[in-house]
Each structure stands twice: as C-alpha cells, then as structure tokens.
Amino acid sequence: MRSRWSYVYFAFYLALGFVLLFLNNDINKAIITLLNIIIVLTPLIGTIFGVMYFYNSKEFTELLLAQPIKRSTIFLGQYLGISISLTLSLVLGLGIPFLMYGLFKSSAIFDFGLLLVVGSFLNFIFVALAFNVALSNVNKIKGFGYAILMWLFLAVIYDGLFLISLIVFNEYPLDKYSLFATMFNPIDLSRILILLKLDISALLGYTGAVFKKFFGTNFGLFVSLFVMVLWVIFPVWRINRKLRKKDF
C-alpha cells in the first residue's frame, strides 16, 4: 500500500517538475511556482499518509508488539519509513526534471536546494504531527478529521488569524511579534524563508525589511532551520511519551 502510493506521489512530482519548467521556461520562475505548491501540498500529503498508514498498519503493529522488540523501535521505524519514502519521492521527483534542465549551470541551485530541504522538513514535521493525532484517537474517522483540521489550521487559518491580529494591533510596532509568530507555524516559516532567499522581499514592505534582516543572514537561516528541527523533535518526543501509556 505504502510503496505503491509513494510511486504515484513520485510520478506526480516528476510530472509537476517537467510541466512547470516547460511552461515557465525559466528555473527561477518555476521555483516560485513550486514553492507555493510545496508549501501547501507536502504538509497535506504528509498528514494524510501519516494518519492513513498508522490506522492501516494496526494489525501489523499488533503482530510486532507481541515480538521481542521495543515499542519505541517499532514506531520510530514506521515513522522514519514513511517520512523517508515521502522525502525521496519529493527530492527525486523534483530533482530529476530540474537536473535535466541544467540546474547546475544556473545560479538558482542554492534556492532549489533550500526548497528541497524545507520540503523534506515539512514532510518529517507533518508525518510526526499526524502520528501524534492518530495515537491519541482510537477512532479512525475522528483521527482523520482532526489531522486534516490541523493541516487546515496551520496552512490557512493561522495566516488568517495572523493577518487579523496585524490589522487589529497595527498601531503598535509589530515586527518582533510577527517574526515570533512565524516561528510557531512551520508552513509560514518555510514560506518566508524561501521567499526571502528569492529576493522578493521588497514586496513585503517594512516588516519585509525586518524579516530580510533576520532571515536573510546566515544567522537567521540557521535559527530557522534550528526551529524546524525542533518542530520535528518535539512531536517525535511526544509520540514516544504517548506510546509508554498506550494499550493495544
């Protein structure tokens, strides 16, 4: 089940990469389009795959639990298996068309690399979050619902709330606040990280300048990647903690 779908997913990215390149005829423009797709799609796919895999492999998990294997090993293995296969689909699916188009000769290689790194992080983050949701819900339908809701919240609703808060408090200096709020949403964080690398920060006005000052530097880049790592570690840690008390 898992392997067949990751092929489909791989083929999808492959096709996407080719189509974008031939329509845009320019690597930089293709990367911007890709950004918008990756930012929304990878979390969604990661969430759905994570939840689906968890519930589908229930029997398998029960079989393994009666064997002399540590609990955390079983689930960590499943988590890594699904995250890595999704990441591979992403990296290969997008990498191949771009390589064929002559990525190495263009200056966009660093941006493209960052895009893939961010996409991979999003995969790992959202599969871990999905496992968390699935572990806390025995009911399949409920678990699926909550997971999708979580994705919707982080991908769409969070931005809305963020914007509203900016409008309501627009008499106060908000640059620090918005920087901080961005850190709490992996999707926003990755979006801004890449946008700024692509040098379209001028579109963002004064706050954009503050962002640019922060994310544009190497220091900002490292801090952001560090926050992304935290976004992976914390859910995985919680999976482990939940597991210790879970009955099967």
Partner 1 sequence: MIQINNLHKKFGKLVVLNGLDLEINSGGIFAILGPNGSGKTTLIKSILGMVIPNAGDIKINEQSVLKEWEYRNQINYLPQIANFPANLSVKELIAMVKNLRPKKANDTDLIKLFSLEPFLDKKLGNLSGGTKQKVNIVLTFMFDSELIILDEPTTGLDPIALIHLKELIQKEKSKGKTILITSHIMSFVEEVAGEIVFLLDGEIYFKGSINDLKKQTNQVDLEHAIANLITKENV
The residues binding partner 1 (CB under 8 A) are 1, 57-60, 62-71, 244-248
Minimum Å gap between C-beta 12 and partner 1 is 22
The closest of 8, 9, 5, 1 to 37, measured between CA atoms, is 9
Closer by beta carbon to partner 1, 66 or else 141: 66
Closer by beta carbon to partner 1, 59 or else 171: 59
Angle at 229 between CA 150 and CA 3, to 5 degrees: 65
Closer by beta carbon to partner 1, 71 or else 213: 71
Instruction: Map residue 137 onto helix, strand or coil.
Output: coil
Minimum Å gap between C-beta 37 and partner 1 is 30
Closer by beta carbon to partner 1, 176 or else 246: 246
- DSSP tag of 157: I
Closer by beta carbon to partner 1, 8 or else 167: 8
The closest of 28, 5, 84 to 200, measured between CA atoms, is 28
Minimum Å gap between C-beta 69 and partner 1 is 6
Minimum Å gap between C-beta 139 and partner 1 is 14
What is the distance of C-alpha 14 from the center of its chain? 18
Minimum Å gap between C-beta 45 and partner 1 is 21
Tokens of 217: 């530097």
The closest of 233, 40, 230, 238 to 131, measured between CA atoms, is 238
Q: Which residue has 């759905």 as its token pair?
A: 48
CB burial of 150-177 (b: ≥16 within 10 Å; e: otherwise) equals bbeebbeebeeebeeeeeeeeeeebeee
Distance of alpha carbon 53 from alpha carbon 70, whole angstroms:
20
Tokens of 38: 């990756």
Closer by beta carbon to partner 1, 58 or else 176: 58
Minimum Å gap between C-beta 60 and partner 1 is 4
